[in-house]
């Protein structure tokens, strides 16, 4: 029985989609990101294939996580649909469980990171003694995971390679990365989308702790791009027990990719020179896959329906080609 389970786990692992090399009708170029492969169709559309690759500390880990791409793609699609009354977004269709097709925009060179709670990178900076993050002043006496009086925006530059860097609103405007008028619009949209995400999380017994958004521009119009409110781009806490854990200075129960980062840290890997990624066994990768499915079901509030993993690349090519030639 155990051997059969092991064989099934190994087979599922081999079916994870870790690289793509599609040739879609009208394809002009392709960009392979850490997780997403983005195909440019006639400079008009983007076909975003959400792979099963997983990254942490800006490093692509050596093994794929089955169903991860489907989880991320379907969560993002749901939240893009749920926020389109706030700001137009790039999504046109999801012709495959792992694919979104949308409008090709000119991206802004900043990511809009919004934080409702002092955690993660913000807490690491705060606990090191800093009382200003991206030009935002932080009060003394805060504790880890404490809620800010009002959410703060801590933008980063968008690096094509390596690490994104913190930057202030003032520097973004002074360096001409985004004009003052447009940046203030991005801020307004960021607050409104985050507020909607918080309301939807509350309905599911969750807290949307922090997240990030990417925006672009098409014909003078600001458009929300990429993915939103997924466990790769966002951090969620369970609402139940939050106050008690905060009072006792205990770790919060999280719904995010943080559990992968913690596992890597415990195994002496933080993406630094000379460090080696620990061995990711099929059993470990299956456990990560199960956590992603759990994240989906909690965040979306629906049962996750696993798509067939057999001939995954062929299925995607067929579905996307059928959509593009429609």
Encode pLDDT of 5-50 as tens digits: 545 555 566 789 999 999 999 999 999 999 999 999 999 999 999 9
Domain stops at, among 227, 256, 285:
256
Task: Give helix then strand counts, H and E, for the chain.
Answer: 9, 16
- Which of the 8 DSSP states describes residue 181? H
Q: How confident is the model at residue 326 (pLDDT cuts 50, 70, 90)?
A: confident
| Overall size of the chain counted in residues | 326
In terms of domains, do 222 and 115 share one?
Answer: yes
* Residues 35 and 73: beta-carbon distance below 8 Å: no
In terms of domains, do 40 and 122 share one?
Answer: no
In terms of domains, do 130 and 229 share one?
Answer: yes
Q: How confident is the model at residue 66 (pLDDT cuts 50, 70, 90)?
A: very high
User: What does the alpha-carbon distance between residue 158 and residue 107 come to, in Å, rounded to a whole number?
Assistant: 10
Max CA pair span of the chain: 64
Other C-beta atoms closer than 10 Å to the C-beta of 274 total: 4
Domain that holds residue 199: 107-256
pLDDT score, position 270:
93
Q: How much of the chain, in percent, has pLDDT values that exceed 90?
A: 87
Other C-beta atoms closer than 10 Å to the C-beta of 54 total: 26
Residue 307 Cα to chain centre, angstroms: 21
In terms of domains, do 249 and 111 share one?
Answer: yes
* Residues 186 and 222: beta-carbon distance below 8 Å: yes
Residue 272 Cα to chain centre, angstroms: 22
- Which of the 8 DSSP states describes residue 35? S
For residue 263, is it within any domain?
Answer: no
CATH number at residue 204: 3.30.470.20
Query: Does residue 90 register a pLDDT over 60?
Result: yes
Query: Does residue 162 register a pLDDT over 60?
Result: no
In terms of domains, do 175 and 309 share one?
Answer: no
pLDDT score, position 259:
85
Query: Does residue 4 register a pLDDT over 50?
Result: no
In terms of domains, do 221 and 232 share one?
Answer: yes
**How much is the average pLDDT of 254-280?**
91
pLDDT score, position 253:
86
User: What does the alpha-carbon distance between residue 228 and residue 234 come to, in Å, rounded to a whole number?
Assistant: 8
Query: Does residue 177 register a pLDDT over 80?
Result: yes
For residue 48, is it within any domain?
Answer: yes
The runs of H, that is alpha helices, within 248-310 are 258-266, 282-300
User: What does the alpha-carbon distance between residue 264 and residue 67 come to, in Å, rounded to a whole number?
Assistant: 21
Backbone angle region of 232, left / alpha / beta, with phi > 0 → left and psi within -120 to 50 → alpha: alpha
User: How many domains does the chain contain in total?
Assistant: 2
Residue 97 Cα to chain centre, angstroms: 16
pLDDT score, position 1:
55
For residue 264, is it within any domain?
Answer: no
**How much is the average pLDDT of 71-77?**
97
pTM for this entry: 0.90
In terms of domains, do 51 and 121 share one?
Answer: no
**How much is the average pLDDT of 151-163?**
82
CATH number at residue 48: 3.30.200.20
For residue 270, is it within any domain?
Answer: no
For residue 239, is it within any domain?
Answer: yes
């Amino acid at each position: 029985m155990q051997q059969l389970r092991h064989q099934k786990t190994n087979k599922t692992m081999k079916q994870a989609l870790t690289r793509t090399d599609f040739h879609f009708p009208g394809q002009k170029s392709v960009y392979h990101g850490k997780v997403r492969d983005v195909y440019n169709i006639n400079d008009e559309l983007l076909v975003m294939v959400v792979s099963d690759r997983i990254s942490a500390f800006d490093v692509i880990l050596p093994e794929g996580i089955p169903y991860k791409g489907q989880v991320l793609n379907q969560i993002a699609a749901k939240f893009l649909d749920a926020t389109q009354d706030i700001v137009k977004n790039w999504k046109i269709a999801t012709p495959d469980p792992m694919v979104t097709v949308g409008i090709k925009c000119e991206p802004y060179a900043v990511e809009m990171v919004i934080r409702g709670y002092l955690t993660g990178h913000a807490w690491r900076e705060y606990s090191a003694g800093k009382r200003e993050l991206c030009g935002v002043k932080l009060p003394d006496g805060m504790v880890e995971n404490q809620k800010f009086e009002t959410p703060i925006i801590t933008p980063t530059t968008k690096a094509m390679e390596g690490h994104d860097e913190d930057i202030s609103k003032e520097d973004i405007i002074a360096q001409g990365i985004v004009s003052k008028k447009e940046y203030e619009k991005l801020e307004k949209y960021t607050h409104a989308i985050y507020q909607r995400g918080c309301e939807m999380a509350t309905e599911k017994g969750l807290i949307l702790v922090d997240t990030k958004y990417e925006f672009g521009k098409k014909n003078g119009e600001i458009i929300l791009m990429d993915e939103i409110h997924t466990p790769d781009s966002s951090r969620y806490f369970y609402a139940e027990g939050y106050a008690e854990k905060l009072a006792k200075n205990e770790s919060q129960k999280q719904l995010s990719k943080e559990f992968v980062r913690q596992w890597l840290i415990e195994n002496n890997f933080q993406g630094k020179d000379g460090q080696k990624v620990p061995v990711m066994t099929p059993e470990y990768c299956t456990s990560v896959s199960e956590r992603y499915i759990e994240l989906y079901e909690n965040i979306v509030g629906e049962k996750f329906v696993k798509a067939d993993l057999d001939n995954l690349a062929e299925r995607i090519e067929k579905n996307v080609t059928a959509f593009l030639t429609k």
